[in-house]
Amino acid sequence: MVNIAQWLIPALQQIQTLKSQSRLSHALLITGADGVGQESLAREVVKDLMCESQQGKACGLCHSCQLMKADSHPDFRVLEGETGTIKVDQIRLLVKQISQKPQVGKNKVVLITHAQAMNINAANAVLKALEEPADHTFFVLTSSQSSQLLPTIRSRCLLVKVPTPTTRDVAEWLQQDASLQPLSQLFWLTTQPYRLLALEQQGKTALYTELPEKLYAMLTEVSGVSDMVKGIDSKNIDDYCNGLAAILHQCICRSTGSDLAPALEPIYQVLIHRLSIQTLMQRYQALQMLKSDLQKTNLNPIMQLTHELNQW
């Protein structure tokens, strides 16, 4: 696993300084664009807050630090909003759990990631907890859509903004870990560092890395459409649609003068020779539609994508 990303360090150090001076707000809201690492920063902050020492950075040695390492600290609670709505019962339970005295160290911490996933009742319950803060209790919230949070929640938090890293920052970060280096070939898909990391964790790096090559072989008739769609099923069809749409999007941008990833240049040359920009845009829209249709219905993914690719 890679070290904390370079672009997260200034914000982390600022929080550590405030902690060491006992001036840290009991509520933090960590914001930034999607996939820049709010959750990664929040996890570091939580470790520092749980440490029993006065210093800003977690000592790594005290009982609390040991329990955090083992992922079994009784005074730390987390709610992940990535997978669905956060409901009021979950918040109430959490507030109840942390209303007791800390069992181990001196602080208790609640982490709520993707806080925009809280429904209105849940948000009000959090607001109430922030308005009547219990001693030595910290709330750490993360969000990529903080404008969707209650303004009253935002105003009670110390706002910490994670900057969006440059492509070069992301490339350097990936360089630190040999297993992540292939991800730098996927900048045509995304330059969001933690989205790339998620692809690797989901075992999807190869699928996306091979896609331009397979598409080029199909377009130049080295292989057929049937080779292109081999291995597609209802589980990975979304990834194929996303990848192909990203390739088309990059080619459309290239036609208006933007830079193109070297891996896509041969594809662009074939497509632009064969289809107009308008057709590329139509195919892009058709792919988006196909993706949404496949989510709603039981259409056969291979048949549908074959039909689409026959028009390229």
Beta sheet of 76-80, edge-to-edge order: 76-80, 108-113, 137-143, 27-31, 158-161
Q: Does 55 bind Zn ion (CB under 5 A)?
A: no
Among 8, 15, 42, 65, binds Zn ion (CB under 5 A): 65
Question: CB of residue 45 vs Zn ion: minimum separation in angstroms?
Answer: 14
Q: In this structure, what token pair is assigned to residue 242?
A: 């996303």
| Interface region with Zn ion, contact rule CB under 5 A, candidates 63-71, 80-88, 115-123, 178-186 | 63-71
Is 59 a binder of Zn ion (CB under 5 A)?
yes
Which one of 28-36, 65-73, 247-255, 279-287 is the stretch in contact with Zn ion (CB under 5 A)? 65-73
Q: Interface with Zn ion includes 62 (CB under 5 A)?
A: yes
Report the 10 Å Cβ neighbour count for 125: 21
User: What are 137's two structure tokens?
Assistant: 């209790």
Estimate to the nearest angstrom the gap between the alpha carbon of 251 and the chain centroid: 25
Beta bridge partners of 142: 30
Task: Using the rule CB under 5 A, give the single segment among 53-61, 163-171, 194-202, 258-266 that binds Zn ion.
Answer: 53-61
> Coil, strand or helix: which one is 24?
coil
* 51 near Zn ion (CB under 5 A): yes
Q: Is residue 16 within 8 Å of residue 56, measured between CB atoms? A: yes
Nearer to Zn ion, 63 or 307 (CB): 63
- Minimum distance of Zn ion from residue 22's CB (angstroms): 16
Of 57 and 204, CB closest to Zn ion: 57
Of 87 and 106, nearer to Zn ion (C-beta) is: 106
CB of 20 to Zn ion, least distance (A): 13
- In the complex, the smallest distance separating the C-beta of residue 153 from Zn ion, rounded to whole angstroms, is 29
In this chain, which stretch among 62-70, 91-99, 157-165, 289-297 interacts with Zn ion, using CB under 5 A?
62-70
Using CA atoms, how far residue 225 sits from 36, 121, 269, 275, 292, in Å, is 36, 50, 19, 17, 22
CA atoms within 13 A on the CB side of 274: 14
Give rounded-to-5 percent helix, strand, coil for the chain.
55, 10, 35
**Which residues bind to Zn ion, rule: CB under 5 A?**
51, 59, 62, 65
